[in-house]
Every structure is written in C-alpha cells, then in structure tokens.
C-alpha cells in the first residue's frame, strides 16, 4: 500500500432518499417481520446500497417502536380510566 493510497479520501455512496421515503410510506398494514422481509427482497431487486438499506432498516425500527409506544400509552390511559371508574363506585 502506497502513501498515496492511504491519503485518498474514501468514497461513500449516498443514501437513496427517494427509495427510503417510498419504502417507509408503505409500512401501514404490515408487521415488522413483513416489512423487513420486503426490505430484503426490494434491496436485492433494486440494488440498494448498504447506506440505503441501513436507513430503511432504521426507519422500520422507528416506525414499529412508535406504534408500540402508542399502544402502551393507550393501554395506560385506558387503565387510568378504569381505575377512576372503580374509585368512584367504591
């Protein structure tokens, strides 16, 4: 390896933002397993680079974490309502 090789900047392929946006907009109605499976198949079909695949995987993870958090908040709110109703009836 020459000194010239060591000092050359690495080229990094950029994220295909259109692919990320389009894929993530199609997540409604899917489970996380289905979404990751679709992402894997689409990456192979469309030749997405690693950066694009990582961005999509991160978006899938965030999407389903937000859905899980929303369900937990709703469940907690429902539990609080039930607790208030029980407290009033006692």
* Token pair for 73: 């908040």
Instruction: Measure Cα distances from 47 to 16, 19, 25, 53, 57 in Å.
Output: 11, 11, 19, 10, 15
Q: Domain of 9?
A: 3-89
pLDDT tens track for 28-71: 999 999 999 999 999 999 999 999 999 999 999 999 898 887 77
Beta carbons of 27 and 60 less than 8 angstroms apart: yes
The mean-pLDDT minimum among 6-10, 26-30, 75-79 falls in 6-10
Short-list 29, 11, 28, 24, CA closest to 55: 24
Domain count, the chain: 1
């Amino acid at each position: 390896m020459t000194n010239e090789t060591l000092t050359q900047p690495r080229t990094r392929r950029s994220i295909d933002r259109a692919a990320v946006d389009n894929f993530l907009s199609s997540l409604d109605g899917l489970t996380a397993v289905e979404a990751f499976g679709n992402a894997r198949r689409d990456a192979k079909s469309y030749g997405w680079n690693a950066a694009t695949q990582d961005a999509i995987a991160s978006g899938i993870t965030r999407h389903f974490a937000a859905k899980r958090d929303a369900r937990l908040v709703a469940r907690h709110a429902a539990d609080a309502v039930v607790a208030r109703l029980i407290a009033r009836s006692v």
